[in-house]
Amino acid sequence: MRNSTKLKTRIIHQKNFDLFYNLQSLKNIKKNVSKHQKPKTFFDFCSGIGSAHLAFKRLGLSCVGFSEIDHKAEKLYNLFHGSHYKNYGDLMKINPNDLGDFDILIAGFPCQTFSIVGKRTGFNDERGQVIFGLKKIINHKKPKAFLLENVKGLVNINNGNSLKEILSLLRDCNYKVHFKVLESVDFGIPQTRERVYLVGIRNDLYEEEFFFPEAIKNNVEIKSFLIDEDKNFELKDSAYKTFLKYLNNKYNLGKFKIDELLKQEYLVLDTRQSDLRLYNNKIPTLRTGRQGILYIKNSQIRKLSGREALLLQGFDAEMAKIAQENFPQSRILAQAGNAMTVNVMQEIGRKIIDYLS
């Protein structure tokens, strides 16, 4: 009888243990499932005119807010995406407690301090300190992932030590961080724009290696982007004469014949400070201060328009058209030069979403 009671007691204990174990397993499964749900939201820091916003919107995510100190960029951002998104302003002054939750943090943090064409002052410049503001927000909000963009020069400035420091401080936030230099021309945009992209995946979500997207092989033609027909962008009169003088300066003398140039449809002419450079089926890197990109169309020399510059950063045709109708050309060209390429951000974003899902 006593043995029978002991057996019953043991069975009851075993059942209780099994029940407890199953409940714990169920909790872990639920926790794991919720951890790996597809991300739904993003925050757009150092947003510029909203390249990242457009990229992640195309991927089905919702923006919960943005941060931009350039009011001219903010006006274009609102035109493209609507004025109902809150601009939290200078991220260095943001209290992370004032931010809602979001799954992915995106930032094209200031690049002038690391740029080849800049003074390459890095962390010695006030703008180079923005990465520390981003670290503070990442530490506090703990998004599932982040995507940061900067100029290629970040890779080798200070013998690569600046990048190492950035990677170290981001990894200290408990993220696995990968970086890679990608070029816009490899993602359906005929622009020779190399940028370094940093992707961070929160440690508790990191289960296997993250891979950046491979180059997309397609036969994109630049004529699909150089679509403006406005005759105001044709080089005429004094502007045309100035270009002819430029062809005959000491750097270009004897190298080019105007008649031969005019025969080459969609040939891109980069009128640098001294020497002329030619591009076939692609344009040089768009930059904020670069306004001297010309091209041949119908045997005429044309200036690159703001509308075309936006298309060459991956913006929708309708967005580019509306911008051209509402803003000065110089402003659009400057903002396009400072933007991230939508297509590249979209493909990296797709990889992040697939990884987290």
Catalytic residues: 111
- Beta-sheet strand order (sheet of 145-151): 62-67, 41-45, 104-107, 145-151, 194-202, 175-183
**295-298: long-range contacts (C-beta < 8 A, 24 or more apart)?**
295/226, 295/266, 295/267, 295/268, 295/269, 296/261, 296/262, 296/264, 296/265, 296/266, 296/267, 296/269, 297/226, 297/265, 297/266, 298/265
What is each CA distance from 26 to 17, 30, 148, in whole angstroms? Answer: 14, 6, 36
Q: Would you give the DSSP letter of residue 155?
A: G
Rounded to the nearest 5 percent, the helix, strand and coil shares of the chain are: 45, 20, 35
| DSSP category for residue 38 | P
Q: Are 48 and 339 in contact (CB under 8 A)?
A: yes
- Nearest Cα neighbor of 64 from 42, 45, 49, 47 is 42
Asked if residue 123 lies in contact with residue 129, where contact means CB atoms within 8 angstroms, the answer is: yes
